[in-house]
């Protein structure tokens, strides 16, 4: 079956421009996560959507970062006025409805380079 997909796979932008990253989760998955992974670093949690609940935005590094999830499915992560330190791989993951243990299914990521 189809897994988590992300687009674009690569994005090069100039400092100060806005970017939008898209995530299509696995159909039926109620939870969706965004992470940032820099070279040699672990997964930095950004934001978490669970069903119709208010998202957990506690990981967003600044107010330049925002995310929305429309219709409980597709999600868009927006970075405004990009900075060079925003360069990283942005990973999206989805999870099935809450059960005994959480299994996150990751997309391939979007590699963002801010020049």
**Which residues within the stretch 74-93 sit at the binding site for other proteins (CB under 8 A)?**
91, 93
Q: How far apart are CA 49 and CA 72, in angstroms?
A: 9
Nearest Cα to 47, choosing from 78, 17, 81? 78
Distances, alpha carbon 79 to alpha carbons 19, 62, 103, 105, in Å = 5, 9, 27, 23
Return the structure tokens found at 82: 């990009």
Are the beta carbons of 31 and 95 closer than 8 angstroms?
yes
Piece in contact with other proteins (CB under 8 A), picked from 14-22, 49-57, 66-74, 78-86: 49-57
Report whether 13 contacts 114 (CB < 8 A): yes
Among 7, 13, 22, 56, binds other proteins (CB under 8 A): 56
Least distance from other proteins to the Cβ atom of residue 28, Å: 16
Instruction: Determine the interface stretch with other proteins among 13-21, 36-44, 67-75, 78-86 (rule: CB under 8 A).
Output: 36-44
Single out the residue of 16, 53, 66, 113 in contact with other proteins (rule: CB under 8 A).
53
Instruction: Write out the residues near other proteins by the rule CB under 8 A.
Output: 4, 31, 35, 40-43, 45, 48, 50, 53, 56, 91, 93, 95, 98, 100-109
């Amino acid at each position: 079956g189809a897994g988590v997909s992300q687009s674009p796979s690569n994005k090069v932008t100039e400092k100060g421009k806005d970017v939008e990253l898209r995530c299509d989760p696995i159909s039926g998955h109620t939870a969706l996560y965004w992470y940032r992974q820099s070279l040699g670093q672990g997964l930095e949690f950004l934001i978490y959507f669970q069903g119709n609940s208010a998202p957990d935005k506690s990981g967003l590094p600044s107010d330049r970062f925002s995310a929305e999830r429309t219709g409980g499915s597709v999600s868009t992560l927006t970075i405004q006025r990009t900075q060079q330190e925003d360069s990283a791989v942005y990973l999206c993951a989805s999870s099935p409805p809450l059960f005994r243990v959480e299994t996150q299914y990751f997309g391939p990521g979007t590699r963002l380079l801010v020049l």
